[in-house]
Structure 1
C-alpha cells in the first residue's frame, strides 16, 4: 500500500483531484485545507498522504473488476465532496458507468477520469464490466468526524461537553443547527461560476 500511495501516478491523481476542487469549489477547498493543516499541527505524528492534496483520506480499490453497490458514504463530511478516479482497462461504453441515483444520471466513466461527487448525501454505484476487463479506483475524501474533532478543540464529545453550562450547550446546539446551511453556502451556484478563457494555444 505504501508503494502505491507514493507512486508518482497516484501523487498526480491526488493533486489533480484537489486542484479540481479548488477550481470549482474554492471556498470548500479552503475549508478542507484549513482543517487539515490544523489537524496536522495538533498531532505531529500524523502523516499527510499527499502534499498536493487537501483531502485527509484515500482509498484504493484493487479490483480486478471493482464494482461498488449502491451506497452513500454517510461518515464523510455531509456537505463535502469526494474525488473518485477510475482506472484500468475496460470499454467504458459498455460498463463501469457511474450511477447517481437521486440525480437519475448514468454517466460514462472512462479509465483515467476523475469526478467529484457529494458522496455522503447522494446514493451512487458503478455498473459491472466484462469478465476479461479490469477496473480499479482511487478515492479521496475527508471524514466528517475529523472536522468535529477539530471544532471541538481536539476532544471527544464526552470531554467536550463535560462541564458546559446550559447556555453553552444551547449555543453549541444552535451552531450545529446552522452547520448544514453554512456548508451549502460554500458551494458555487450558476451565478457565481466564472468560466476561464481557453489558454491552450499559449
Structure 2
C-alpha cells in the first residue's frame, strides 16, 4: 500500500516525513492553496516519489515545475482533459487524475482516462479545488469497476485506521494524507505520521 503525504514545503519537515515512512510526497503547485510551493525546497525527497499537484495549469507550466521539482508524478485536480494527460504521460511523467465522488455517476467520467493515467485519486467533493478535510461515502467505491488503481483521500486522520482496516477494493492502491496530520498548513506532525504509517502498513493487507 502506498502512503502519500501531500502539502509539504518545509525542508526539515519533508526530510522527517520521508523518514516517517511516506512512499510519496506531494508538492502543491496551485497558487491559491495555503500549501503552495513557490520555489524549490532546500531538501527534496531522495527515496520517496515526488508528486506535483496542479489545478487546470497549462502544459508548459506543468512541465516547467516538473523539471524544477524533479517530479515523478503529476496529480491533476481540475478539469484536465485526457489529451493533456496523454501529453504529460508522453513526457515520461506518471499521471494521477483526481475525481470527487458523491454519486455513482462520478465513476462514468473515469472511463475516458483509462488509457492515459497511472492512478486515480478519489476525494470528497468540495466547492473549492483541493481537500475538504472530510470523508466521503466509501461504500460508493464498490461500484468502481475500472482498471486503474486508486488512492483513497478525503478527511483521513489519526483515528481513521479502524475504518481503513475494514475497507476493501481490488484496485485500492494506497492513501493520501494531508490536513488531518497538520500542525499548520504545510507543516506535518511527523510523530503522528510515523505512528499512523507504521500501524497502517502492519494492519492493512
The TM-score range, normalised by the shorter chain, is: under 0.3
TM-score, normalised via structure 1 length: 0.24
Task: Please identify which structure carries the higher strand content.
Answer: 2
Instruction: Decide which structure has the larger Cα Rg and report it.
Output: 1
Where relative contact order (Cα < 8 A, 6+ residues apart) is larger, the structure is: 1
